[in-house]
Amino acid sequence: MTSIGLMSGTSVDGLDVCCATFSCREGRWSFQIDCARGYDYPEELRQKLSRDVQHMSAYEFVAFHSEYGRYLGRRVNEFMAEFGVKPDIIASHGSTVFHEPAKRIMFQIGDGAAIAAETGIPTVSDFRRLDIMLGGQGAPLVPVGDNLLFGEYDYCLNIGGFSNISWREGERRIAFDISPVNYVINRFARSVGLDMDRDGQIASRGSVNQPLLDRLNALDYYSAPAPKSLGREWVEARVFPLLDGCGLSLEDLLRTYYEHCAVQLARVTQPGRSLLVTGGGAYNKFLIERMRELSGCQVVVPEPAIIEFKEALIFAFLGVLYMTNQVSCLSSVTGARQDNIGGMLFKTI
């Protein structure tokens, strides 16, 4: 089955589109990435997704949900025309607006019906809602793909707006968000007119401030047991106040925050194990150096297509699992009452 996966992360810098073909023989899944591309968001859309959407009226919110879905559909049409592909299914992550699972609140903006209408391709979206209603975190969703497509690695780590990790423990898959990463780093990089701290150049010039590092590491999330997940609400309420009030230079602030991210990874991994690293943070040389040093893991940074499009690839895979009626959301990961098949299907005739 050929599937297109759409992924827009918490950093809201753009849309990843990945078309892949999946096969299952004797219970073992394999994949081939046929083509993939990233699309930067226009500044107006990025602003709406990153800030404005949380403060819209109900009417404006519903209108934007439809508008953004149509945008996604048009990008897929461009993608299919450029690469000459026509998949069996489209699987869309959407963009996370609200994520408070303890209150049964979540929303992935980007109407799947609009994508199906624009493209004429059956579209699965809204993968998290059922798990939330079953008492789960609704996240992370990628571990089922880690388990079935990348099972040769001891750990799978993705570094995007947040870092998340998964590993196999007996017959169960364990996974959770480790810490905010690019969601925090990019915010402070933008304060000096940069989109990101490329290669960790700013942080590498700074020094670790131990009192700030101690306060970050003492945040209650880190001592809470899995399953657990993070959202922007937690970062804005708990992390930004610590950083905004610390009085440090940008270099020292980011250097301390990088150390915090590396410490949290080291807390949940064992030295000597293989660690597959993907996501935009895999390109941050200084961050990877600190994570390798503190964790003692054998860090594997794969080919660029896997680094950049692994999450979009796995969302394409979630669409395949949906269409073949197989579990895509693991209760051992999310804490839901039971495994489930998340998503809603929209299709034209």
pLDDT tens-digit readout, 47-97: 999 889 989 999 999 999 999 999 999 999 999 999 999 999 999 999 988
Rounded average pLDDT over 320-329: 96
**Helical ranges in 157-282 per DSSP H:** 182-190, 201-204, 210-217, 232-234, 240-244, 250-268
Domain shared by 251 and 103, yes or no: no
Residue with token string 């008492």: 135
Q: Are 338 and 122 in contact (CB under 8 A)?
A: no
Q: What is the pLDDT of residue 227?
A: 87
Domain shared by 247 and 162, yes or no: yes
Domain shared by 264 and 337, yes or no: no
Position 267 pLDDT exceeds 80? yes
Q: Which one has a higher pLDDT value, 230 or 292?
A: 292
Average pLDDT along the chain? 95
Q: For position 90, which CATH number holds?
A: 3.30.420.40
Distance CA 202, CA 190 (A): 12
Strand partners, 299: 275
Taking every pair of Cα atoms in the chain, the longest distance, rounded to a whole number of angstroms, is: 61
Question: Which domain range does residue 14 map to?
Answer: 2-138+310-346
Domain shared by 57 and 199, yes or no: no
The total of structural domains in the chain comes to: 2
Q: Are 254 and 151 in contact (CB under 8 A)?
A: no
Confidence of residue 229 (pLDDT cuts 50, 70, 90): confident
Q: What is the pLDDT of residue 63?
A: 97
Domain shared by 10 and 125, yes or no: yes
Domain shared by 102 and 185, yes or no: no
Domain shared by 322 and 202, yes or no: no
Q: Are 229 and 142 in contact (CB under 8 A)?
A: no
Q: Which one has a higher pLDDT value, 6 or 98?
A: 6
Distance CA 290, CA 258 (A): 8
Domain shared by 239 and 300, yes or no: yes
Confidence of residue 270 (pLDDT cuts 50, 70, 90): very high
274-278/298-300 β-pairing: parallel
Rounded average pLDDT over 212-217: 98
**How far is residue 70 from each of residues 64, 92, 109, 115, 312, measured CA to CA in Å?**
10, 12, 11, 6, 19
Strand partners, 6: 17, 92
Which residues, in sequence order, are CB contacts of 106 under 8 Å at separation 6+?
Answer: 96, 98, 99, 100, 128, 129, 132, 138
Domain shared by 218 and 321, yes or no: no
Distance CA 4, CA 76 (A): 8
Q: What is the pLDDT of residue 300?
A: 98
Residue with token string 């602030």: 253
Position 9 pLDDT exceeds 80? no
Domain shared by 216 and 171, yes or no: yes
Position 213 pLDDT exceeds 80? yes
Q: What is the pLDDT of residue 103?
A: 93
Domain shared by 329 and 223, yes or no: no
Confidence of residue 140 (pLDDT cuts 50, 70, 90): confident
Q: What is the pLDDT of residue 231?
A: 86
Q: What is the pLDDT of residues 152-186, one digit of tens each?
A: 999 999 999 999 999 999 989 999 999 999 999 99
Q: What percent of the chain has pLDDT over 70?
A: 99
Domain shared by 83 and 156, yes or no: no
